[in-house]
């Protein structure tokens, strides 16, 4: 299949729509300054062929896409015990909602909402330097150094009132072991990783290869764990728009409020789209359109 030509066609079709609809995330001041009129797309097949178009090498804030890698580290280190403190059900609520936490005794619905990622991060902080470990994993998957955007991390720390509330609330139920400030410092940094579409398409490659690290050939997750990450992406990866994503796109996806979305076609390829303007649930508007075009034109879907 001519993926390069297809990605160029998608960029050419959607470019005229840039800046017309949606809003750049404004609740994190450092993200509010990102110019909306940018759009990139990149893919990598399981056997290592890459294609990319538009602003595919421009680094952006990966935000909640980091929750995928936080979960990967948690599953790799803890196996089944990870699920003692985190559920596996879609929340049907915004990613930063607190409402279910009270009646559900501080156990977040899933690892892909903020509360869930904070709970997984707490487990990682108990094991190692979670900030360093994240960069080690991402740099190894991308085969080049990956770094934090300290300005974004500081901006989140200064304004992340809901995340502070959530972490303290979970701590009050005895669900957070470590100092809340230390857990949030790691969480905010993870959200503030800077990567491009091309790097992200490569970094999630293990999810279309049954958990095998694309560069080293090592088993990062077991085949069963990789399948489970994909199923969680489908049901929970795009917050309260997960149903809409399954309906329109039909692929496991994980989004972030920086405007990036990664998607997996199991056993075939991984892709990443980026455009900063978001719809009301916090997913990239043009990113969703691009993925919809991609699946419509290729017929690739898990259904
Ligand atoms: N959906 C997102 O990308 C949210 C991540 C953001 N850093 C937050 O904690 O609010």
| Six-digit token string for 116 | 């869930």
C-alpha 158 – ligand 1 centre gap (Å): 14
In sequence order, what are the beta bridge partners of 44? 50, 270
CA distance linking residue 296 with residue 58, whole number of Å: 26
- pLDDT score for 298: 97
In sequence order, what are the beta bridge partners of 195? 60
Q: Does the ipTM exceed 0.95?
A: yes
C-alpha 113 – ligand 1 centre gap (Å): 8
3-state secondary structure the chain: CCHHHHHHHHHHHHHHHCCCCCECCCCCHHHHCCCCCCCEEEEEECCCCEEEEECCCCCEECHHHHHHHHHHHHHHHHHHHHHHCCCCCCCCCCCCCCHHHHHCCCCCCCCCCHHHHHHHHHHHHHHCCHHHHHHHHHHHHHCCCCEECHHHHHHHHHHCHHHHHHHHHHHHCCCCCCCHHHHHHHHHHHHCEEECHHHHHHHCHHHHCCCECCCCCCECCCHHHHHHHHHHHHHHCCHHHHHHHHHHCCCCEEECCCCEEEEEECCCEEEEEECCCECCCCCEHHHHHHHHHHHHHHCCCCC
Ligand 1 site, residue 191, Cβ cutoff 6 A = yes
- Give pLDDT tens digits along the chain (303 positions): 689 999 999 999 999 999 889 999 989 999 999 999 999 999 999 999 999 999 999 999 999 999 999 999 999 999 999 999 999 999 999 999 999 999 999 999 999 999 999 999 999 999 999 999 999 999 999 999 999 999 999 999 999 999 999 999 999 999 999 999 999 999 999 999 999 999 999 999 999 999 999 999 999 999 999 999 999 999 999 989 999 999 999 999 999 999 999 999 999 999 999 999 999 999 999 999 999 999 999 999 999
C-alpha 250 – ligand 1 centre gap (Å): 23
C-alpha 255 – ligand 1 centre gap (Å): 10
- pLDDT score for 1: 63
Ligand 1 site, residue 163, Cβ cutoff 6 A = yes
C-alpha 128 – ligand 1 centre gap (Å): 23
Ligand 1 site, residue 240, Cβ cutoff 6 A = no
Probe ligand 1: pick from 156, 255, 261, 287, max atoms within 8 Å of CB? Answer: 156
Angle between helices 161-172 and 114-127 (to 10 degrees): 70
- 8 Å CB contact between 156 and 189: no
Euclidean distance between the first and the last CA atom of the chain, given in angstroms as a whole number: 20
104 contacts: CB under 8 Å, gap ≥ 6: 87
If you classify domain 3-298 with CATH, what class do you get? alpha beta
Residue nearest to atom 4 of ligand 1 (CA): 64
Residue nearest to atom 10 of ligand 1 (CA): 96
**Domains of the chain by residue range:** 3-298
């Amino acid at each position: 299949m001519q993926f390069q030509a297809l990605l160029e066609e998608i960029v050419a079709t959607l470019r005229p729509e840039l800046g017309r609809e949606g809003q750049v995330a404004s609740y994190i001041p450092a993200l509010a300054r990102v110019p909306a009129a940018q759009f990139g797309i990149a893919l990598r097949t399981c056997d290592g062929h890459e294609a990319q178009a538009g602003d595919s090498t421009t680094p952006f804030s990966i935000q909640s896409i980091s929750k995928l890698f936080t979960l990967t580290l948690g599953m790799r280190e803890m196996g089944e015990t990870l699920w003692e403190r985190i559920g596996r059900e879609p929340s049907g609520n915004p990613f930063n909602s607190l409402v279910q936490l009270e009646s559900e005794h501080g156990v977040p619905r899933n690892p892909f909402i903020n509360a869930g990622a904070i709970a997984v991060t707490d487990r990682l902080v108990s094991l190692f330097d979670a900030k360093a470990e994240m960069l080690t994993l991402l740099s190894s998957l991308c085969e080049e150094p990956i770094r934090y955007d300290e300005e974004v991390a500081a901006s989140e720390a200064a304004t992340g009132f809901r995340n502070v509330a959530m972490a303290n609330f979970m701590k009050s139920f005895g669900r957070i072991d470590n100092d809340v400030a230390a857990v949030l410092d790691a969480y905010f940094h993870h959200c503030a990783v800077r990567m491009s579409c091309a790097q992200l398409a490569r970094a999630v490659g293990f999810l279309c290869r049954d958990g095998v690290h694309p560069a080293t050939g090592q088993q990062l997750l077991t085949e069963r764990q990789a399948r489970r990450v994909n199923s969680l992406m489908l049901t929970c990866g795009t917050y309260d728009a997960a149903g809409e994503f399954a309906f329109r796109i039909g692929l496991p996806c994980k989004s972030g409020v920086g405007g990036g979305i990664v998607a997996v076609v199991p056993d075939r390829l991984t892709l990443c789209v980026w455009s900063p303007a978001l719809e009301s649930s916090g997913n990239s508007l043009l990113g969703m359109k691009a993925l919809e075009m991609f699946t419509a034109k290729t017929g690739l879907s898990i259904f």
